[in-house]
Structures are given as C-alpha cells and as structure tokens.
Structure 1
C-alpha cells in the first residue's frame, strides 16, 4: 500500500504545507499556495479575487477572451435569462431577494466570476424538499436565454432536508452571457441526484460554480451532459 503522505500529491495536499509543495507542475508552472482545490480562497467579496490573466493554474485551460469580460468587469449586467421551474408536488419553490439568510450555506465563491455572480444577482430561486419526503418525480429548472448581448447573473439553491430524496434537472438553452452560483445542501441521510443539461446556442457563454454541502450519511450524485454552447 502506498503511503500518500510520501507522494508528491500527498505533499501538495498536506495541511502542513498549506496545500503547496513548491514543486513545478509537468507543464512547467510552479504552483502557488491554494493550488489544491481544498485550499483555494473562498470569499463573497469580489475584491478578494484579482482579474485572472490566464497563467493561473485554475484558468490556464480557459480561453479568457471568449468569456465576454465576465472575469474582468465588476458591475451588474444588462442581460436577462428566464428561469422556469416545473417542480414535483412535494417540492417547495420560492423566489427570494439576495438578502435571504439561507443563501450561501452551500459554499462561498472560489473564483472571480463566481464572486461577481454572487454580488450581481437580484433574485434567487430556492427549491426545498421537506424532511423525510421522497419526491414523486424529477423537478426541472429551465434557464432560457434570448440574447447574448449583456451579462446576466443568477442564483439557485437546492435544499434537500434530512432523510428526503429528490432528482433535480438543470436545463440550459438559448443565447446568453450568463454566470451563476448553484448550491446543493443535502441534509443528514438525504439523497440528491442532479442532472445538468447544457443545450445552449452556439453563441452562448455560461460560467457556473456548483457547490455542495453534504450531511452525515447523505448521498449526492451529479451527471453533466453538454450538447452546445
């Protein structure tokens, strides 16, 4: 059996090094503190994230010039998307303002685009599956864009309370320049399956952070299918 603490990966992930080994990656870049996913900065404050230049480890495979300034600008966008929820009868659907105290429980933004989306959204959708409830059918959240002109921002939280079970489908389509945060809060003993369908138009740009908070003995499964965008 390999002792992970003696491997390069173990050293990078070790709390003793702060998630940083100082050894170069295979592509030549030298890692910096926070390269480990678990050690990355998380903050709701946009000012805590510098504008990426493309050489950062988490951004080096991202064609930043195609993001339509989602990573650069810091103001609210002028674009819009339509969010329609087809919920199972057992699932409660709410549209709330950004000041709702429940928002953010799933996790804080971990990059600049996610932080901008957090600070720019006006309304959020919260789906709640009550404790010990088994949803009788999947709940579908449809996000429809009509134009890629102007940035749009959104927020979704799925709260599956203890010992409940649900399937949620996120269906994206149309034209948009869109950034959002999606939180999944899965209570003790609960089970959630998420299917994310990306069927955007060819001119669409979508940057999303999905954060999961999983309780004791809970189960979470995520399936992503991309057709376009």
Structure 2
C-alpha cells in the first residue's frame, strides 16, 4: 500500500468511525467536522489552509473567475486537530496529477437531517477505500463519490460556511464579513469533481438550501 493509499484509508476510517458514533448518539454532530475536513483536505478538489481576506473572502485565482461550484470554509478554531489537517493538505501537492475518478450516484430525496447522510456514508465508505486500493494504473486514485454527503454534513453543522456558488469576480468567494482575517480550511468543489447526477444544483436541493435561506446561486455569479 502506498503512502497516499494509507492517507486515504486513515481519512475514511475516521469518517466511518464518526458516522457510526453519531448514528448511535455517542457523539454530537459537530464531531463530524474534523473527519469531514480531513476528507476534503485529501480529496481531489482545490482546497487550502488560508486566512480569509477583506469582507471574509477566499481567493481561488483569477483563472477560476465566474465558475460554478460549491465553496466551503471551516474556521481553525472549529477543528480540534488543525495541525494534522495542515499536514494532510500539504501532501496534496505531492499527489500525482490526472486522477481517474470513480463516481457513484447519490440517492434521490432531500437530506435535511443527518440520518440519511449517516446511512449513505456508512454504506459507501468501504467501497471507496476498496476501489482506491485495487486501482493499479493511477497511484493513489481517489473515488470521491462521498463528497455530496460530506457537503451535506457541512451544511447542517453551524460551525462551517457552505456557499452554493463557485468563485465570482477575480476568482473570489465571500463567506461572511465577520470572518475577515479568520484562518481555516477553504475548499471549492467544481462540478467536474462531482458525479453527473450530483451537480451543485442537485446537492443544494438535497440540502434544502433554498428553503433554509442559504446562498445557492449556481449559474451566473455576481459577488
């Protein structure tokens, strides 16, 4: 097993353990933050540890301006083991390029609470790990079909920010003015990192984002 596969397994094991314990009532839902952030930090999506700029904005570069997607931000003080997250995120730079991603569809219906999300995670975590280990042609292949469920977790937990849009003008996303100068994990999940049946609009619908007053602009973006 390569070092990358070991890192993937560790992230998946932590996610599975938290899902089991939350489902049994042994952990509060906010204990999902650490394993969910760790999963995103090692998934094939543009993520970085950053300090939010003026007006609480994260920058993904001008070349990504006005692209659709889903943006996430988890403040440093909401994550128990931020140093481990830093280590995993730095390892992303050493990963081989040209991932061949293996997607799985997400179930239909609205994920407005944790129960169906827990069921989905517990059912598919083992499959993702097995696919990653059995692939020989691409070292450290990731199968990120858990991303929609993990995004739903972030949406439900109050300590995180989920914006149903990608980078706007100059490749920036505004999370919240009150978070200006806040350090944390920022990630942008473009549609290309999601299964065709799990595009941003579909995930927003699953999360009931429009009914809960969340930002869910997917098409034309004007920040």
Same fold (TM over 0.5): no
Higher strand share: 1
TM-score by length of 1: 0.24
Greater RCO, CA 8 A, separation 6+: 2
Bigger helix fraction:
2
Which has the larger Rg? 1
- TM-score of the aligned structures, taking structure 2 as reference length: 0.25
